[in-house]
Amino acid sequence: MRSLPLKTLFVFAFMGTLLVALMALQRDRLAAGYENVVSTVKSTAASAAEASKSLPLPGFANSEPTAPTDNYISICLAVKDQRLDLPEFLHHHYYNMGVGHFFIMDDGSQPPLSEMTEEELTIPRSAIEFHYFKPEKHVRWMQYTMYNTCAHIARNASTTTNTTWMAFIDADEFIDAPGPQTLREVLEDFDRIEAIGGVALNWRIHSSNGHLTRQPSAIAAYTECVYDDVEHNGNGTNNRHVKSIVKVNLFKQPRDPHSFYLTENHITVGENGDEVNSALRTPITRNRLALHHYALKSKAEYEEKMVRGSGMSNHKGWEVWDLYENTNPHEECTEMLRWAPKSS
């Protein structure tokens, strides 16, 4: 009779040890995968950086629009009333970046964005799913609610929508892959490394270029950016902020609008395989991936944006305008012009 509890204890102890060992093994396996990856990624990044130096600037390479053939990459967009901003955003990411599916989390737009016509949308409606959040359902930190919903919906639709990577960006943020690799190729590189669950892209913040009213194409109109403050390792510029592209099945929850908690020990890396643990990434590099942030656009649109506020319930004032427009030094940034409408 006495031996039974002892035996039970022993079994529990054994199971516990086994569990701890398994967890350690999993962590080591992830870490080992990461070490290998980082060195591979570093060498790929170095050759990509080298190759991108010799690329001809505007009006070249892969600017022929091609529709994606699957949903390997998707975008989760939390948006309100930006009906005029959506066409260029959708067109760029679908045709130029190979984003196959868009989760549009409509934060109570009037009228709902789902009423946009296919002509307005500029891409097949089948590539978009609209989810409408009624204005009376608006909560503080709405953006987090919408991001969690996106990931859950995508996981529930794992066999139909079947998306691997989900970018969490805003309607004024445009992804670019300026090196010789496409966005998909860069993500596929990281996909091979089990430890990696997210990729962080540095901002490139654009000024107003002196425009007072809405321009037909943001890509064509805004060709001046805020400096990277290389001298102080990015300390003086918000370009050190990132936004993330996350593997849907490893998504846990947002840490902030810029970065995400992932399951187990999975990590988020920058384009060089460097680990990123917050909303910031320095040194700022954009040889393989960039996130062009049309933060101001024209003065008139900035005024509209101040009124609209954001999914994070904070209303911007003129400080941000002053910082990007007047305080931060500017430099020319014309690399997005290769995606500009041919007519302009």
Q: Which residues of the chain form contacts with ligand NAG (CB under 6 A)?
A: 70, 72, 149, 152-153, 156, 159, 162, 164, 232, 235-236
Whether residue 327 contacts residue 237, with contact meaning beta carbons closer than 8 Å, is answered with no
CB of 70 to ligand NAG, least distance (A): 5
Nearer to ligand NAG, 147 or 339 (CB): 147
Residue among 209 and 227 whose Cβ is closer to ligand NAG:
227
| Residue of 344, 336, 343 whose CA lies nearest to 92 | 336
Q: Which is nearer to ligand NAG, 118 or 322 (by Cβ)?
A: 322
Name the minimum Å distance from CB 157 to ligand NAG: 8
Strands (E), 99-187: 101-106, 128-132, 165-168, 173-176
Q: What is the largest CA-CA distance in the chain?
A: 89
Residue 97 CB, nearest distance to ligand NAG (Å)?
A: 15
Write down the residue that tokens 């022993």 correspond to.
10
Closest CA to 142 of 105, 104, 89, 173: 105
CA atoms of 237 and 223, how far apart (whole Å): 17
Contact 201, 175 (CB under 8 A): yes
In Å, how far are 224, 259, 260, 321 from 282, measured between CA atoms?
21, 14, 18, 23
Measured from the CB atom, is 156 or 277 closer to ligand NAG? 156
99, 93 in Cβ contact below 8 A? Answer: yes
DSSP state of 257: S
Q: Within a 10 A sphere around the Cβ of 333, how many other Cβ atoms?
A: 18
Q: Least distance from C-beta 152 to ligand NAG, angstroms?
A: 4
Nearest 5°: phi and psi at 130? -100, 135
Query: From the CB of 148, what's the least distance to ligand NAG, in Å?
Result: 9
Q: Least separation, in Å, of the C-beta of 141 and ligand NAG?
A: 18
As a whole number of angstroms, the distance between CA 31 and CA 195 comes to: 7
State which residue, 162 or 223, has the beta carbon closest to ligand NAG: 162
Least distance (Å) from ligand NAG to the CB of residue 235?
4
Return the number of the residue (144 or 302) whose C-beta is nearest ligand NAG: 144
Of 72 and 95, the one with the shorter C-beta distance to ligand NAG is: 72
